[in-house]
Structure 1
Amino acid sequence: MNTLEKPIHNNSEIGTLRSVLLHRPGGELENLTPDTMAELLFDDVPYLREARREHDAFANVLRTRGAEVLYLDQLAIEALADNEVRKAFTGEMIEGSGIEGLRTRARVASHLADMTTHDMVWKVMQGIRKDELPGGDDEFQLVRLATDRTLPFHLAPMPNLYFTRDPAAAIGDGLTINHMRFPARQRESLFMRYIVSHHPRFAKSGVKVWYDREQPYAVEGGDELVLSDRVMAIGMSQRTSPQAVEMIARELFDRSTFDTVIGVEIPDSRAFMHLDTVFTMVGPNSFSIHPEVRAGSNAMKLYVMKKRGEHGDMAISEESDLTKVLCDTLGLDGVQLIECGAGDPIAAAREQWNDGSNTLAIAPNVVVTYDRNTVTNRALRESGIEVIEVPSGELSRGRGGPRCMSMPLVRDDV
């Protein structure tokens, strides 16, 4: 498939990966401090040099297995070549930053306007500190995010950008451009909005947008799993609302080949922030799963939405048997559920925290995982899955694994 002709084509979680979007971590990580990391959705402060080394190793694995690796910053720079488009982009970034004072906004806009497009894109990602702007301190203010605490920035950094899975998700020949749940991440999906609208690779290719960031309900790509060319699973989690799931389902039923969406309700907690932190597809009938969501108080609840008639109408049934739902919707005789930590409660809890269930399939029965999750990786191999390990000492501090760090754009059909 020529990716230049069809820049988005993603009808499965496991088709051979041909094109993928990554973000190599940058100075935004160095604008994290112990005092600000909670507002910026981190539990620790990564070491940038090692995080980049680990990320480069991850990207090289994908390249050696035949995937084209695209980088978010480069696509954004190319999309913003027109001065008017660039001006609109910076305006929306400033608007989304929460700056209230008009003079401060003007100073930030002027500061960005004086930069090359390359430097401007990176500066928006890294953040603008309170002591950076030329001129006086009149109308000085701090960025205010989710809590009553304030951060020492006019534009807050975006350290979560290396988790490219969440701001947008490729589904079929289109994508969702997502309304992120928390203020710390809400500006991230602007990059993909401008790339799809203005980058020559995407702008005139007929890419469909199934859901836009201006929609009122939160959804993030870590909750969106493409199980086949007809079946989606979408988590209803800490970061994705049921209303968004229903809106996406209706849009897919109305304008695509998809006829089934499985809404998967998981606990509303940081430990289980997205569906892909507890459940991923690794082969035609194989799935990784965190044992804590299989049964008991944290068991996943399933709502199967089926296309009925025209114009996105649907029938909805509530189910409880995950194996049965997967077999029925995917036409399988049986499924293999491979437990994080091999089902051991201590190993499972430890390795799920380090994204042991967050596998990235790059071909059927071939996955990329973090090297630190030794018990889960062994269980995957014993189940017939080829496991490619990547280093994870610093990247894992952001609480996201290989699937979180990648936005597949093109996969082979299975």
Structure 2
Amino acid sequence: MITPHIQNETARLRAVVLGTAESIGPIPTLEEAYDPKSAEHIKAGTYPKEADMVKEMDAVAKVFERYNVKVYRPKVIEDYNQIFARDIAFVIENKFIKANILPDRDREIEAIEHVWSQIPKELRIKLPEECHVEGGDVMPWNDYIFIGTYSGEDYSDYITARTNMDAVIAIQELFPEKTVKSFELRKSNTNAKDNALHLDCCFQPVGKNKAILHKNGFLVESEYNWLVEFFGKENVFEISKEEMYHMNSNVFSISEDVIISERNFTRLNTWLREQGFTVEEVPYAEIAKQEGLLRCSTLPLIRD
């Protein structure tokens, strides 16, 4: 049995699902691309190779091993991209919530059946069909749940709009004692530098009271300002458009003191170390080409 337990993004990690890059299949066509960054690399002929991505994910698995974290991997489905485990489900408190994601990706959930089936039935939640949500948009932070969304009338025109207001309301109803705070994200189907695919592409808390933020990822300036005030200006590391594009906010915390980060994030990693964090650097630049990074490819199940 697995009893999930997640209160926030940074408490000591004990169990996690790490996606897999094995058998991801042929390079997608432009029509099949889920986001502008993948499309860019498909066009340029620089789309990541399976062998390189497998190596990158293995490096993360090794870090987890060193910290005695129990790691589950999805069952490999042939010719199917299963890297981004965060999209398909998420845990808040003791509830394991199945996300309603793009219909083309339904099989990714089946691949973690061996995890889902070990969770007590009453703790497994499936949201109503009209609630679109992906785990990259959902961030439990103690008494709060931060959720990235897009509520424009042109929602359905954006393949990059992944979480809707129906989902925000459903999550608030599931956790009435928490404050659910939603943030409108900037979306673009064509320009990766102007697209915050998920909330964790432009924001993530680290440690006890710090945060990585990118202002332009937020559509509404007052919502961005609320976050700056909430964490305190002196505790915020503001990343540039270029750094957001390379996914600098998408690191992953093993604990309040230890963060897994991409080895090329020089400015961020320097700042983290100055703040007293241990930074475990891994190569993840190939995976980043699909507009996702460390947080996107991990689904935490248990934190202290």
Same fold (TM over 0.5): yes
Mapped pair 1:21 → 2:17: yes
Counterpart of 1:21, as a letter, is V
Specify the alignment match of 2:237 in structure 1: 338
- Quote the residue 1:172 is aligned against: 93
Q: In the TM superposition, what is the alpha-carbon distance from 1:389 to its structure 2 partner? A: 1.1
Asked if the contact 2:90–2:98 (Cα under 8 Å) also holds between the matched residues in 1, the reply is yes
Aligned length: 282
What one-letter code is carried by the residue in structure 1 that aligns with 2:66? T
- Whichever residue aligns with residue 298 of structure 2, its letter is S
Larger Cα Rg: Structure 1 or Structure 2?
1
Deviation at 1:191, TM superposition (A): 4.0
SS at match of 1:247: helix
Match of 1:407 in 2: 299
Could you tell me how far apart the structure 1 residues matched to 2:33 and 2:267 are?
29
The code of the aligned residue for 1:394 comes to E
Partner of 2:257: 365
Deviation at 1:211, TM superposition (A): 4.1
Partner of 1:321: 226
Question: TM-score scaled to structure 2, two decimals?
Answer: 0.83
State the shift of 1:210 in Å.
4.2
Equivalent residue, structure 2, for 1:135: none
Contact 1:369 1:401 in 2 (8 A): no
Q: Is residue 2:221 matched to residue 1:299? A: yes
Shift of 1:392: 1.8
Partner of 1:71: 73
Rate the CA distance shift 1:409–1:61 in 2: closer, same or farther, 3 A: same
Counterpart code for 1:122: I
Letter paired with 2:23: G
Matched, 1:252 2:247: no
Distance 1:334 1:399, change over 3 A: closer
1:277-301 Cα deviation digits (max 9, x unpaired)? 111111111111114347xx66363
RCO comparison, higher one (Cα < 8 Å, 6+): 2
Counterpart mapping for 1:127-166 below 5 A: 158-159=80-81, 161-166=82-87
Deviation at 1:7, TM superposition (A): 3.1
Does the aligned pair in 2 maintain the 1:196–1:207 contact within 8 Å? no
Which whole-Å CA distance do the structure 2 matches of 1:162 and 1:247 have between them?
27
Q: Does 1:272 align with 2:177?
A: no
**Which residue in the other structure is 2:5 paired with?**
9
CA RMSD of aligned residues (A): 2.5
Q: Which runs of 4+ in 1 moved over 3 A?
A: 33-37, 189-192, 194-197
Gaps of 5+ in 1: 74-120, 127-157, 303-319, 328-332, 341-347
Percent identity of equivalent pairs: 26
Please give the secondary structure, in 2, of the residue aligned with 1:50.
helix
TM-score (normalised: structure 1): 0.62
Following superposition, the deviation at residue 224 of structure 1 comes to 0.7
Once residues 184 and 34 of structure 2 are traced to their aligned partners in structure 1, the CA distance between those partners, rounded to angstroms, is 25
Q: Does 1:122 align with 2:77?
A: yes
Partner of 2:146: 233
